[in-house]
Amino acid sequence: MLLKASIVGLVSIPAFLLVTAAAPAQRYHHKKWNTLDGKPSLIFGHRGDKAIMPEHTLGSYHLAAIEGADYVEPDLAITKDGHLICNHDLHLSATTDVAERPEFANRQRNLTDILDDVLVTIPNNWFIEDFTLAELKTLRVKQAKVGVRPLYFDQTFEMPTFEEYLTLVQDLSVRLNRPIGIVPELKHAAHSNKLHSDKPHYFENLVLDTLERFGYPRHSSQIKNATHITINGKPPIPRGNVMLQNFEVESARYLGKNSDHDVLMLVLANAWALTPKGLDDIATFATHVGPWKEFFISDAESAYKFKNIKLDSKQIRKLGGFIPPHRLVKEIHKRKLRAIGFTFYDKHEPSQLGCAKKCIVGTRTEELGYFFKQGIDGLFVEGVSNAIQIRNQFFNIKV
Ligand SMILES: *[C@@H]1O[C@H](CO)[C@@H](O)[C@H](O)[C@H]1NC(C)=O
Ligand SMILES: *[C@@H]1O[C@H](CO)[C@@H](O)[C@H](O)[C@H]1NC(C)=O
């Protein structure tokens, strides 16, 4: 009933009112939290809060922060003229109006490369690396999942730069009176670095340099007394934490070895990461591991079959075999790493657990509860305030 009312409401109720609409009925009474530090799991706003705003816009970042996200996620790519810009894809058709721009018709092409360990062809599209920042700024962002999500804010926003994201997050930290975590994902670093092969680790250094300019130096010893942000004479607020994330191990390793920032090793096609020796290696350069959520539910073989990803079984055996799904959080914690899961969709996309074997369509409270019980340290969610409500009830947090 609630679900139906909210979907109907999409056409008339202002978006900001929707996010508090659904309250979970169930209450948990857990005595002990199973996260690594015994604290409640952290909530990461996936691409901002794309349940309502077009993803990767100042609007979606702003909304996630207002809703209370512990971290707000930008994905990063590099423009033709070397600026960091926020977008999930290397291509532009899904989230911008580029296809309707006759001036860019001749930029359409195919792109083939290994992206996050998988050989991929993206046919007939427009790519960020072919556009200058000034050209990208003429585009307008639109909602990626038409039919599921509200479209009020289509054509409202430009693609934000990483610098605009950092400025916004710092400003909101002061105005909302709490530190907000910064969790940029370097998308397809090996591909982007190939385009700048004269400067080794161009992408990683561009990100680390930009962070440094905004007061997040590579090494914590350099922070000295500048641990707080002050804007317009308002009381100083501690800077949010920085966590750099990547699916590509060489990029994650470089970030971990060349900075004191937290590093989140994401896991999807990089199956070696789900083995004991794989986790041992990750613990040498990262602080967090983020396996696709299915790996905490189904055995890895079934999950990879479901995803149509081929496995190197010999390599997996050599590394100690796959860790069973119910042991995954424990094995991650054993190495003093924290476990992060992705992606937990909001109520407009039904929750599907265990689809590698047999989908269990459960409620959002059941899905999140499964991960909280295991001791997941953080989750990338959509519908941030609703997820926080469920989290707070699970952990008996009084607000
Ligand atoms: C992309 O590749 C396909 C063949 O796979 C070809 O038909 C098409 O013309 C190519 N597109 C462009 C813009 O080159
Ligand atoms: C840091 O300390 C120095 C010297 O004590 C002072 O001049 C400077 O204003 C301080 N910076 C901040 C951001 O507080």
Distance CA 88, CA 97 (A): 15
What is the 225 CA–ligand 2 centroid distance (Å)? 6
The predicted-structure confidence for 128-160, as pLDDT tens digits, reads as follows 999 999 999 999 999 987 777 889 999 999 999
Distance CA 285, CA 246 (A): 12
Report which bound ligand comes closest to the CA of 224: 2
Distance CA 361, CA 350 (A): 7
Instruction: Determine the residue of 225, 227, 237, 239 to mutate for testing ligand 2's pocket, defined as the one with the most ligand atoms within 8 A of the Cβ atom.
Output: 225
What is the 132 CA–ligand 2 centroid distance (Å)? 38
> pTM of whole model > 0.85?
yes
Distance CA 264, CA 290 (A): 6
Q: What is the largest CA-CA distance in the chain?
A: 61
Preceding omega of 230 cis (within 30 degrees of 0): no
Which class for 328: exposed (0-12), middle (13-18), buried (19 or more C-beta within 10 A)?
buried
CB-CB contact of 393 with 28 (8 Å)? yes
| E runs forming strands in 293-362 | 338-344, 351-353, 360-362
Whole-number pLDDT of residue 137? 98
Both tokens of residue 26?
């169930």
The reply to whether ligand 2 has any atom less than 6 angstroms from the CB of 225 is yes
The reply to whether ligand 1 has any atom less than 6 angstroms from the CB of 123 is yes
Q: How many Å from the N-terminal Cα to the C-terminal Cα in the chain?
A: 26
CB-CB contact of 95 with 57 (8 Å)? no
Which residues in the chain land under pLDDT 70? 1-31, 223-227, 350-351
Order of strands across the sheet that contains 288-291: 84-86, 75-78, 185-186, 243-246, 262-267, 288-291, 338-344, 378-381, 42-45, 71-72, 181-182
Length of the chain: 399
Ligand 2 atom 4, closest CA = 225
Ligand 1 atom 3, closest CA = 123
Both tokens of residue 355?
């689809």
Atom of ligand 2 nearest to the CA of 228: 13
CB-CB contact of 243 with 71 (8 Å)? yes
What is the 70 CA–ligand 2 centroid distance (Å)? 28
The reply to whether ligand 2 has any atom less than 6 angstroms from the CB of 226 is yes
